[in-house]
């Protein structure tokens, strides 16, 4: 029982030092513009497609330049506004990203990728209620849209709404049972509630999908420590160290102390 209480007390440290939740990525609209047959070779389309190429190859400055040029020719292009927002987001220019996503939605309110991206940008900006509203709009347009329940769960978790977060993660996994990030986040939520066995099951599911997911190994080490399975805790610590992402040193110290205490008890006369 002492190990469980100590591990649960450690969770606040772990959440501060490790990414407590995993979000889906920004959604880039990478198909051709919806242009008429007469302007299929228009400068707007050419610059838009070049912007996509540059952005997908990590050449953000060039992508931004191309999208801006495309929008000078065709300012009503929702896709170009969305992708320009994605380019701004990728370099941490959140306010500019938000503005472009809003411009995209002004042109096409049903543009689901722009709602999704705007939700992520609001979340990163700390505008939690706005982010939640955008995710709910996405689900109104398409209840099966990928990653939304996972991201919504992560925001709810950050607000301390653990049971609601668990519900969202489960919905995501009902949609895609192999989504490693949702298993990872659900594991953390279970651990937070003291449901250690459930957390272990979720982390194992993560590793079935992604064996070298270092954070899952670290969290499994902590969960096994809470269960008193120090041998398994050390096994996953060693794996996370090999993956260059070990648990916090404070946890390693706790694990060493618990192991040393166990060895002393084992060597003491009955």
Q: Where do the structural domains in the chain lie, given as residue ranges? A: 1-23+179-258
CB 247 within 8 A of CB 222: yes
Total residues found in the chain within this entry: 270
* Percent above pLDDT 70 for the chain: 81
At residue 32 the predicted structure's pLDDT band, cuts being 50, 70 and 90, is very low
Measure the CA–CA gap between 192 and 195, rounded to whole angstroms: 7
In terms of Cα–Cα distance, which of 76, 90, 89 is closest to 33? 76
Q: Which residue has the higher pLDDT, 43 or 65?
A: 65
Measure the CA–CA gap between 238 and 185, rounded to whole angstroms: 22
- E-state strands within the chain: none
In terms of Cα–Cα distance, which of 154, 174, 177 is closest to 166? 154
What pLDDT does residue 14 have? 45
pLDDT of residue 251 exceeding 90: no
Measure the CA–CA gap between 98 and 107, rounded to whole angstroms: 15
pLDDT digits (tens, 9 = 90+) for 188-206: 999 989 999 999 999 999 9
Pick the CATH number of 1-23+179-258 from 3.80.10.10, 1.20.1260.10, 1.10.599.10, 1.25.40.10: 1.25.40.10
Measure the CA–CA gap between 208 and 77, rounded to whole angstroms: 42
Contacts of 9 (CB under 8 A, 6+ apart): none
DSSP secondary-structure letter at 209? Answer: H
Q: Which residue has the higher pLDDT, 11 or 96?
A: 96
Measure the CA–CA gap between 80 and 104, rounded to whole angstroms: 8
At residue 39 the predicted structure's pLDDT band, cuts being 50, 70 and 90, is very low
Measure the CA–CA gap between 202 and 182, rounded to whole angstroms: 9
Mean pLDDT score, 64-77: 94
Q: How many CB atoms lie within 10 A of CB 155?
A: 23
CB 169 within 8 A of CB 153: yes
């Amino acid at each position: 029982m002492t190990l469980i209480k100590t591990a649960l007390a450690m969770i606040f440290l772990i959440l501060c030092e490790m990414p407590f939740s995993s979000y889906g990525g920004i959604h880039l609209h990478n198909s051709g513009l919806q242009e008429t047959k007469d302007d299929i070779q228009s400068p707007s389309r050419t610059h838009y497609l070049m912007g996509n190429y540059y952005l997908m190859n990590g050449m953000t400055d060039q992508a931004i330049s191309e999208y801006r040029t495309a929008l000078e020719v065709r300012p009503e292009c929702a896709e170009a506004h969305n992708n320009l927002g994605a380019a701004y987001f990728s370099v941490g220019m959140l306010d500019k990203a938000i503005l472009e996503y809003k411009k995209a939605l002004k042109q096409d309110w049903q543009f689901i990728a722009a709602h999704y991206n705007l939700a992520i940008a609001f979340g990163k900006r700390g505008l939690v209620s706005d982010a939640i509203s955008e995710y709910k709009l996405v689900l109104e347009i398409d209840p099966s849209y990928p990653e939304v329940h996972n991201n919504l769960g992560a925001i709810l978790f950050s607000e301390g709404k653990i049971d609601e977060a668990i519900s969202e993660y489960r919905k995501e996994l009902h949609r895609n049972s192999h989504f490693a990030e949702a298993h990872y986040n659900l594991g953390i939520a279970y651990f937070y509630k003291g449901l250690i066995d459930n957390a272990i099951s979720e982390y194992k599911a993560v590793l079935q999908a992604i064996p070298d997911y270092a954070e899952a190994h670290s969290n499994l080490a902590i969960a096994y420590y809470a269960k008193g399975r120090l041998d398994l805790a050390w096994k996953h610590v060693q794996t996370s160290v090999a993956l260059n992402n070990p648990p916090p040193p404070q946890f390693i110290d706790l694990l060493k102390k618990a192991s040393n205490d166990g060895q002393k008890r084992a060597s003491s006369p009955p």
